[in-house]
Amino acid sequence: MKAALLIFIGGGAGSVLRYLLGKLMNSHASGIPFGTFTANILGSLLMGLVLGYALRHGTISENTLLLVAVGFCGGFTTFSTFAYENHLFLKDGNLGLFALYGLGSLIIGFAAVFVGIWLVRHL
């Protein structure tokens, strides 16, 4: 029960923050959903920092993992919104934005996890 509550609290906080970031940053003028992109990259970086901390110190509490990694990062980042936004690019025939946003999100997202792990282990 405690695990579910920690995930619920972290996930709720992450979801609300992602919503606010999207409202602030997503603009139909540019066509690129910068809010979702930013949430996914920051969430990936945070995941890397948490995992890097666990690697450097040999442990991290299960409660911290549940609250931050599973809950917050799970609620803050969003693959479903990312997939839907890419669907819209394809539907509108905008292959350039589809490729830029899709590949950019994947490459930078992976890089953010690695950077987070590297930062904690080496600084």
pLDDT tens, 51-109? 899 888 888 999 999 999 999 999 999 999 999 999 999 999 999 999 999 999 999 99
- Distance linking the first and last C-alpha atoms of the chain: 36
Per-residue pLDDT at 11 exceeds 90: yes
Tally of domains within the chain: 1
pTM, full prediction: 0.89
- The secondary structure of 53-94 as a DSSP string is HHHHHS---HHHIIIIIIIIHHHHS-HHHHHHHHHHHHHTT-
**CA-based nearest residue to 110, from 41, 62, 52, 61:** 41
Give the domain extent around 23: 2-122
- Output the average pLDDT for the chain: 94
pLDDT at 84: 94
Q: Does residue 120 contact residue 58 with C-beta atoms inside 8 Å?
A: no
